[in-house]
Each structure stands twice: as structure tokens, then as C-alpha cells.
């Protein structure tokens, strides 16, 4: 059995001071870095995703629903300084012109956000590693972490969300997300 750690959207725009800030995002970023360093040997891969939206574009209506955030190449799209991207063995960008909440909607990229060629998805990376289990952490519990976990479970991966290493938009949507995850067979774990 092979396990991977999926780190979802630990970016400046999703942390305090960002355009779509989530309370506790900065502390979660730091805690994820510590956890990844301490548990590096437990994972075949540590994959970090980022929203990577196009500037001057509605991104498939995404910016009609949400404030402009995580525009490719801007400080808002950068990893939060409390998250050390060197702990990641792979990087993913998503939402390039379309709404994308799940890490599984993105493609592998280098650390600067430039898409790798040929384009490869997280699902392909996990299959190459023969990973059958994933742990998921990041921002936001009730949106991108939720969608990533649901997609992982739908692909037959044994899926766990380490809840203490996530930050949510709101308590009520967090609770609803955790219920939805449980109904899909996703395990919620403490750190």
C-alpha cells in the first residue's frame, strides 16, 4: 500500500490579508509545513496544488461567483510564506480559465506554476506511484479540500482528511462538508 499527501491551495489569497481569506489559513500553512517535514517518509509523494486563474478573464464565470483571487503569477497566487513549497515533491495548478475546485481538475507544474509538458494529472501521478491511499490537508475544508477528497474517494482511493490541518470558510459549511465526506466514506483524522 502506498500513500500520498495532497496539500490543497495554501496560498496568500486564501490566508489572512488575501482577497478570499479564510480565518486560520496562515497557522494551517505553518502546521502543514511542520507535518510534512515530520512525516515525509510516510508518503510516496507530497503534492501541492494552487488555484492559477487567468488575469482579465471571468475564468468560466468563477470570478462572477467569487472575488478575483489567485491570478497566475501574482503574489496572491503564491504559496503562503508559512508553507515551505520545498516539502512538495510535485505541484499542481488548476482553474486556468475554468472553475476548478478539486486538485484532480489540475495539471502538474513546476514550482513557479509553469505547466509541465506533456500535461499530466494528479490521478496519473498517483497511478504511476501505485498510490492507493491519500491524506488531504489545506484550504478550504468546505470547498477545495472537500472536492479534492470527494474526487479521490470516487477514484477508489482510501481517502482521509486531516481536519486539524485544514481551514474552513465558515463553521456551518465546514460541518456540512465533514458530513458529506463521511457519507462518501472519507475518514476525518486529527493531526
Tell me the catalytic residues. 9, 94, 144
**DSSP symbols for 69-131:** --BTTSGGGSBPTTS-GGG-SEEEEE-SSS---SGGGSEEE-TTSPBPSS---HHHHHHHTT-
Rounded CA-CA distance 77/177 in Å is: 24
Rounded CA-CA distance 126/134 in Å is: 9
24 neighbors 152 (Cβ within 8 angstroms): no
Which of 36, 9, 4 lies closest to 128, judged by CA?
A: 4
Amino acid at each position: 500500500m502506498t500513500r500520498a499527501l495532497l496539500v490543497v491551495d495554501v496560498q496568500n489569497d486564501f490566508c489572512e490579508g488575501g482577497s478570499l481569506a479564510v480565518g486560520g489559513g496562515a497557522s494551517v500553512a505553518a502546521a502543514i509545513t511542520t507535518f510534512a517535514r515530520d512525516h515525509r517518509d510516510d508518503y510516496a509523494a507530497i503534492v501541492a496544488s494552487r488555484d492559477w486563474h487567468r488575469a482579465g478573464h471571468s475564468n468560466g464565470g468563477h470570478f462572477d461567483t467569487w472575488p478575483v483571487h489567485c491570478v497566475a503569477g501574482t503574489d496572491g497566487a503564491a504559496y503562503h510564506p508559512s508553507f515551505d513549497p520545498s516539502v512538495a515533491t510535485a505541484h499542481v495548478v488548476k482553474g486556468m480559465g475554468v472553475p476548478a475546485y478539486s486538485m484532480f481538475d489540475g495539471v502538474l507544474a513546476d514550482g513557479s506554476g509553469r505547466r509541465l509538458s506533456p500535461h499530466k494529472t494528479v490521478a496519473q501521478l498517483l497511478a504511476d506511484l501505485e498510490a492507493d491511499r491519500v491524506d488531504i490537508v489545506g484550504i478550504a475544508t468546505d470547498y477545495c479540500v472537500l472536492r479534492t477528497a470527494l474526487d479521490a474517494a470516487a477514484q477508489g482511493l482510501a481517502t482521509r482528511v486531516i481536519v486539524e490541518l485544514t481551514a474552513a470558510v465558515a463553521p456551518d459549511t465546514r460541518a456540512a462538508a465533514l458530513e458529506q465526506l463521511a457519507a462518501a466514506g472519507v475518514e476525518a483524522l486529527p493531526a
